[in-house]
Structure 1
Amino acid sequence: MYNEEAALPALVARLRPALDGAGVTYEVVAVDDGSADRTAEVLEEARLVWPELRVVRLRRNSGHQAALTAGLHSSVGAYVASIDADLQDPPEKIPEMLELARKERLDIVYGVRDDRSTDSGFKRRTAGLYYWLMRRLVGKSVPSQAGDFRLLSREAVDALKSLPDQQQVYRLLVPWLGFPSGTVTYVREERVAGETKYSLGKMIGLALDSITTFSAAPLRIATWLGVLSFFACFGMVAVTLGIYLVGHTVPGWTSLFVVMLFIGGIQLISVGLLGEYIGRIYTAVQKRPTYFIGHDSARAEDRVDAGA
C-alpha cells in the first residue's frame, strides 16, 4: 500500500471478517511502501485490536513489485494471498481461493477479472493490449485479465524467492513457474477511496519491464528493421540506376533526405533497445536490493521501539 490512509478502515472492515471466517490461522502482512500520509499510523492503530496484523514499513517508496516482493519474502504461511489495499479486488474471494487450492492440490490460484466495467475505457483497452502482447511474447500460460491478486502455496513462494531476477514482474514470473494452477473469477470493483497510484507512466514502465525481462523479441525486431531497411535501400539503388540508364537523372535531394531519416531512425531504435537490455544487465550485476525494510512489527526490537 502507498498513501492508502483513506482506504484502510474499509480494508480492515472487509478483510478481517473474510479471514476470520475461513476457519484457519492466518497472518496479514501489510507492506507500507514508504507512504507520505498517515498510512503507517493507521496500520499501527489497527494492529492494537487485530493481533494477526503485521506491519512492514519500507524505508522509501520502492514501487509496487518491490513492495510485493517484500511481502512475499516476509510471509511464513503455508499459503500466501496477495491483494492491494484499494479493494478493487474483493478479499472475500481469498477463502474461495484457499478452498480451491486445497481441494484440487493447486500451487497457484489466480484471481481473474471477468468484468472490468468500473475501469475507464482507456484502462480496459490498454490492459487488454498488455495481456495480448504478453501472451504473444511469453506464451499462453499468462492468464488473461489476471493481475497481482492471487494465492500461492509455500512451494511456489519459495521458488519465487530463489529466482535471481532484479526486475521481478510477478504477472509473468508466476505463470513461468509452471506449477499446477486454477482460477477464481470476480467482478472488479471501484476503488474504495483515494486515487490510483498507477499512472500511465508506471503502466508503460511495467510493460517495458515485462517485455525486456522475459523476451529478446525487441532485439529481433531491431534486426528485422535492419534487414527491411537494407532491402528498401537496395530497391532505391536499383530505381536510381534505372533512372540514370534512361537518362532522366535529376537532383534527388528529397529521396536522399527521406532515406537518411529512415536509416537514422532505425539506428536510433536499435541503439535504444540495446541500451534497455544493457541497462538491465548493469542493474543485475550491481545486485542492489530493490527495497529496505525500516520497520517490522514482528521483529523484537521494533516491538520494543513501538512500545508493544
Structure 2
Amino acid sequence: MDKLVIVVPAYNEEESLPKSLRILDNVLQELIHKNQVSVDSKIVVVNDGSRDLTWKIIEDNAKENSHISGINFSRNFGHQNAVIGGLTAARKYGDVFVTIDADLQDDVNAIPKMIEAYHQGYDVVYGARSARKTDTKFKRWTAEAFYALMNKIGVEMIPDAADFRLTSGRVVDELLSYKERNLFLRGIVPKIGFPSTVVYYERKERELGESKYPLKKMLGLAWDGITSFSIAPMHFVLALGLLTTLISFVMLVYTAIQYFIGHAIQGWSSIMVSIWFLGGIQLIGLSIIGEYLGKVFNETKGRPRFIIQDNLLSDDAK
C-alpha cells in the first residue's frame, strides 16, 4: 500500500491551522480506512519562518497524533521554497505526495479524487478551479491575462491550477533534480512530463487569518514565472528599440524635408518628448537586463533554497 504524505506550507497560520489539521486528518483517516493509502501516511506541515504560534501548534498536534509531523525553517524562505522543502524532507517517508496550502481554500474533498486518479496510473494530478466566483473582477481579469500571456510566450501551464496537486514519488524525484533558485513550480511540474490529469473543484473563501498572497506578491510570482521560463521581455525591449529607431528615422526624414522647403522648425517640444521617451526605454531595457543578470548572479552563488531548523520527521523515525 502506497504511503501518502500531505505537504502543507504554513506562514503565520495560527488562526486557521488547528481547524485545517483536523480536516486534513479526517480526510487522511478516511483514505486509510478505505485502504486507499497506507496506515503510515502522514501530514507534514512546513513552518516557513512564522512569527506567531504556528510552530507550537504543529509540535502540539504532532505529540497528540502520530499522523501529523512538521519541519521548521530557520526563517521565511517563501511559499515555493516551502513546498520544495517539504517534499525534500518528506520524500523518503512517502510514495505519493499532495501539496495544499494551510488555509484550505482549496477543497480537501478533491484529495480522494486525486488518489483515485493516481491508482488509475496518473503520476501528476492537478487541482484546478472550476470557476473564479470568489475572486474580484480585477483578480479574475489579471489571472486570465497572465495565463494567456504565459501561453503566448510558450510556457506550458494548467489554467486555474496553483500548487494544489498530487505527484508520484518518481515525479518528485525529477522535480527535486531542478536546482534553480528562481522557482515557479506551476511551470516546472508540467515540463517534467509523465501521465497527468486534472481534478476540478470550487475554491472557497478564506475563513480565518489573512491572505499571504496580496497583489504585490502575486505580481512578484507572475514576474518570476515569466523570467524563469522565457526571455520574451528582452525580445520586447529589442522590438521597442527597433520601433524607436524607425520612428527616429522617420522624424529625421521629416526634419530634412522641412528644412529644404524652408519651413521653420519649432522643435523644442518634440525634442524634449523624444529625450524622455528614449530615456524611459533605455531605463526599462536596463532594468529588464539587470533582472536577468541578478537572477543569474543568485543562481551562481549556490546558496540553499531553505534551511531546516527543526525536523519532527527525523524524530519520528527514531
What band does the TM-score fall into relative to the shorter chain?
A: over 0.9
- Are positions 1:91 and 2:100 aligned together? no
One-letter code aligned to 1:127: A
214-223 vs 92-101, which deviates more? Answer: 92-101
User: Which of 102, 127, 152 matches 1:136?
Assistant: 152
Q: 13, 22, 30: which one pairs with 1:21? A: 30
Matched, 1:216 2:231: yes
Residue 161 of structure 1: which of 176, 195, 198 is its match? 176
Matched, 1:247 2:247: no
Letter in structure 2 aligned against 1:110? Y
Give the whole-Å Cα distance in 1 for the aligned partners of 2:105 and 2:129. Answer: 10
Report the residue type matching 1:78 in the other structure.
D
CA–CA distance in structure 1, aligned partners of residues 250 and 135 of structure 2: 48
Question: Does residue 79 in structure 1 map to residue 122 in structure 2?
Answer: no
| CA distance 1:97–1:303, shift in 2 (3 Å) | closer
Of 104, 124, 128, 1:108 maps to 124
- Hey, what does 1:37 align to over in structure 2? 52
Counterpart position of 1:125: 141
Structure 1 contact 5–38 (Cα < 8 Å) conserved: yes
Contact 1:57 1:293 in 2 (8 A): yes
Identity rate, percent? 40
Q: Which amino acid aligns with 2:29?
A: D
Counterpart Cα distance in 2 of 1:28 and 1:173: 24
> Which amino acid letter does the alignment assign opposite residue 17 of structure 1?
N
Q: Is the CA contact 1:109–1:181 (under 8 Å) kept in the aligned structure 2?
A: yes
One-letter amino acid of the structure 2 residue matched with residue 47 of structure 1? A
Equivalent residue letter for 1:132: A
Structure 2 runs not aligned, ≥5 long: 1-9
Distance 1:303 1:21 in 2: 24
Residue 109 of structure 2 aligns to a residue in which SS? helix
Contact residue 90 and residue 313 of structure 2 kept, 8 A: no
Alignment of 1:228-243 (within 5 A): 228-243=243-258
Residue 292 (structure 2) aligns with:
277
Contact 1:14 1:92 in 2 (8 A): no
TM-score (norm 1): 0.94
Matched, 1:11 2:26: no
AA at the equivalent of 1:89: D
- Asked if 2 retains the 8 angstrom alpha-carbon contact of 1:6 and 1:194, the reply is yes
Q: Please list, as runs of the form range in 1=range in 2, the aligned pairs for 1:46-65 lying within 5 A after superposition.
A: 46-65=61-80
Counterpart CA distance in 2 for 1:195 and 1:91 is 20
Task: For 2:114, give the aligned amino acid.
Answer: M
Report what 1:175 is aligned to: 190
Whether 1:299 and 2:308 are equivalent positions in the alignment is no
Work out whether residues 142 and 172 of structure 1, in 8 Å CA contact, stay in contact via their aligned partners in 2. yes
Letter aligned with residue 144 of structure 1? P
Mapped to 2, the partners of 1:33 and 1:277 lie a distance apart of 26
Write out per-residue CA displacement over residues 2-40 of structure 1, whole angstroms, 9 at most, x where no aligned residue: 011110122122111111111312111100011111111
- Consecutive unaligned residues in structure 1, runs of 5 or more: none
- Give the aligned length: 301
TM-score scaled by length of structure 2: 0.91
Contact 1:15 1:92 in 2 (8 A): no
CA contact (8 A) 1:29 1:74 kept: no
C-alpha distance in 1, partners of 2:123/2:152?
24
Structure 2 match to 1:196: 211
Q: Judging changes above 3 Å, is the alpha-carbon distance between structure 1 residues 164 and 303 closer, same or farther for their aligned structure 2 residues?
A: closer
Amino acid at match of 2:27: A
